[in-house]
């Protein structure tokens, strides 16, 4: 079955990164995986809403060998729980200088900036986005971030923006259609109609 989702060919070329193969996909949290709002309870507990579409996108990246990495300026139990639920192996919480924490991660994972994609929405994400082979932002991002992004998603942060970013990367790497078609199979090995 041919995918219904389409992206312009020039975007897919950009999404391959300067090294023609993205190995790492870095995600900010607030404003990217969430809508940017932070709910604080009367006892100081933090609440965040995450989108299941985004979660499936991150899991799909893992399936094809693109490593999702969380680099967030805040630290909260809600984010740590979401990262654990998705079985993400690489996350940095409370990063004041995102570049300082990303550089050793890239070295550890054997990736150059040309092989890295980044999705962010505010000034702390700029150093990563400026170096990345592919930079993406949700439409509600700060103007300076929007100005340097290779792609601005149609979906808003917390409402499928990260999934769109994942879909672009999967399509650019040539994995999207295969993953989609694998979901057409039933548990007993038959095809759905």
Please provide the DSSP assignment of 105-166 as one string. HHHHHT--GGGEEEE--SGGGHHHHHHSSEEEE-TTS-HHHHHH-SEE-SSPTTTTHHHHHH
In this predicted structure, what is the pLDDT of residue 193? 41
Cβ–Cβ < 8 Å for 88, 55: no
Cβ–Cβ < 8 Å for 150, 14: yes
Residue 75, classified by CB atoms within 10 Å of its CB into exposed (0-12), middle (13-18) or buried (19+), is middle
Say whether pTM exceeds 0.75: yes
In this predicted structure, what is the pLDDT of residue 184? 79
In order along its 193 residues, the chain shows pLDDT tens digits of 789 999 999 999 999 988 779 999 999 999 999 999 999 999 988 899 999 999 999 999 999 999 999 999 999 999 999 999 999 999 999 999 999 999 999 999 999 999 999 999 999 999 999 999 999 999 999 999 999 999 999 999 999 999 999 999 999 999 999 999 888 765 555 554 4
DSSP 191: B
Query: What distance in Å separates the CA atoms of residue 29 and residue 67, rounded to the nearest whole number?
Result: 16
Query: What distance in Å separates the CA atoms of residue 9 and residue 179, rounded to the nearest whole number?
Result: 19
């Amino acid at each position: 079955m041919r995918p219904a989702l389409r992206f312009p060919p020039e975007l897919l070329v950009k999404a391959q990164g300067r090294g023609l193969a993205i190995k790492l996909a870095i995600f900010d949290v607030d404003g990217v995986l969430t809508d940017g709002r932070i709910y604080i309870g009367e006892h100081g507990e933090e609440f965040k809403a995450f989108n299941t579409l985004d979660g499936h996108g991150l899991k799909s990246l893992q399936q094809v060998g693109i490593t999702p990495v969380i680099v967030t300026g805040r630290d909260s139990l809600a984010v740590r729980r979401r990262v654990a639920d998705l079985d993400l192996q690489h996350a940095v919480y409370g990063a004041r200088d995102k570049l300082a924490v990303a550089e050793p991660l890239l070295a550890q994972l054997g990736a150059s900036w040309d092989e890295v994609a980044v999705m962010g929405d505010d000034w702390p994400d700029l150093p990563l986005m400026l170096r990345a082979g592919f930079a993406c932002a949700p439409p509600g991002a700060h103007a300076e971030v929007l100005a340097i992004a290779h792609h601005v998603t149609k979906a808003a942060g917390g409402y499928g923006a990260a999934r769109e970013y994942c879909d672009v990367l999967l399509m650019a790497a040539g994995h999207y259609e295969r993953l989609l078609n694998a979901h057409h199979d039933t548990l007993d090995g038959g095809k759905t109609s």
